Amino acid sequence: MKRRAFTLIELLVVIAIIAILAAILFPVFAQAKDAAKKTQSISNLKQTGTSVHIYIADYDDVLPQAAYRQSNVNNVIISVYDILQPYMKNKQILISPADGQGQSWKDRLTGLGLAVSTGGVERASYIPNLGLFGENLCGLAGKTAYTPVSNHAGLQEPVNTIMFFDGYIRKSFPDLNFYTFMAFARHADGVVINFADSHAKYYKWSSVNSIANDIPTPTGSRAPVYYSWRVDTANCGTSGLCNTEGKLQSVPIASTGYTANGTAGPYNDLHGIPGTNITDSEDTATCP
């Protein structure tokens, strides 16, 4: 029996069908891959929240500090990542699967003439709420105040109090203030967040402003709302969403200048404690 070869037309039809199927399926595969990364990120932050709760059980319900200077070593900084490692026993938990190697905490400190502790965490994708965890960098140049640590039992709204979130560490900035630690929409234009009651959840970027928005800020608070994600069409296009490291790096960041509706001031500010006047990470205590 004589075998007939495919004609050119038949080959072109097959190729066209394959191309159409690829165009349909590849975005589906990409969405499925991103969904898997988002699920893993939620798991990472759930485990991080659990480690915080184990820590506070050992320390009379007092939360760890986000950062402080190591005793007798002027340039070494101990971070909350380091403090929680004995409870995590896995540095990889701090790296989002959508963030490659993670943000370089080590490089950020090195640029300021500081260093991580020996064997400490060098990279992380998740940013601590600096208002909640507090910090004490007294002794560093220009540092005259610090943010006290919080007591978990004293939180008025633990279910609405952010602990960690998908974040970006702004590079080449001359300090370690809260407005250089920004939220980052890594997952389908959204961010994974965990809360002081230890639950973790995914939020579309436009929904972040709904967190704790029914809790009024007391008189004297620096910001009009506890958590805010404002648009920036000047630097990030018509959507106003800055969803790449380059765009986040280009956003003008001011430590002051809030307006009544929260559209000014720091970009992607997820620092603060609902029910108090700490609406970012105001340093309220004077350095000794």
Q: Is residue 1 part of a domain?
A: no
Q: Is residue 160 part of a domain?
A: yes
Q: Which phi-psi region, left, alpha or beta, contains residue 119 (left: φ > 0; alpha: ψ -120 to 50)?
A: left
Q: Is residue 195 part of a domain?
A: yes
pLDDT digits (tens, 9 = 90+) for 250-266: 887 654 445 544 445 56
pLDDT digits (tens, 9 = 90+) for 84-115: 999 999 999 999 999 989 999 999 999 888 99
149 vs 71, higher pLDDT = 149
For residue 229, the enclosing domain spans 9-286
Q: Is residue 2 part of a domain?
A: no
Q: Are 246 and 210 in contact (CB under 8 A)?
A: no
Residue 189 makes CB contacts below 8 A (sequence gap 6+) with 204, 205, 241, 243
Of all residues in the chain, the percent with pLDDT exceeding 90 is 47
Q: Is residue 81 part of a domain?
A: yes
Residue 66 bridge partners (DSSP):
none
Q: From edge to edge, which strands make up the β-sheet containing 115-116?
A: 115-116, 76-79, 67-69, 135-136
pTM recorded for the entire structure: 0.85
How many distinct structural domains can be found in the chain? 1
Q: Is residue 96 part of a domain?
A: yes
pLDDT value for 263: 47
Rounded average pLDDT over 163-181? 87
Q: Is residue 27 part of a domain?
A: yes
Q: Mean pLDDT across the chain, nearest whole number?
A: 86
Name residue, tokens 């960690």: 164
Question: Helix, strand or coil for residue 182?
Answer: strand
Q: Is residue 187 part of a domain?
A: yes
